Amino acid sequence: MPQNEHIELHRRRHGRRLDQEERDRKREAREPRRRAQRAKKLRGLKAKIYNKQRFSEKVRRLSCHGSSVLIVLTTVNFPVNRYFDWIFCLVFPDV
């Protein structure tokens, strides 16, 4: 028996926990909060890499929901007001 099959063998012999599905559902529901806390705590280059990854996932998620409209956040430098340095852009891909 290969060394990595001990978990599957245990499940076949003894089954899973009775509340396993509920535990998995709750763990999945808590995941966004954990990701947000991690994004707040990270600093420096790790934070840039992590936020870039989260942003790419967000764009991918939004592009999957709307088949003809893709919402992209782009940075624009306004000379008058620095507080509005990002805007929402709608991109219509050729369908």
pLDDT tens profile 60-87:
776 665 554 555 555 444 455 444 444 4
Give the whole-angstrom CA distance, residue 62 versus residue 64.
5
Q: Phi-psi category of 46—alpha, beta or left, where left has phi over 0 and alpha has psi -120 to 50? A: alpha
- Cα–Cα distances (Å) from 6 to 2, 10, 12, 13, in that order, read 8, 6, 10, 11
pLDDT tens profile 23-39:
999 999 999 999 999 99
Which is more confidently placed, 35 or 88?
Answer: 35
Angle between helices 20-41 and 45-65 (to 10 degrees): 130
Domain ranges of the chain: 3-66
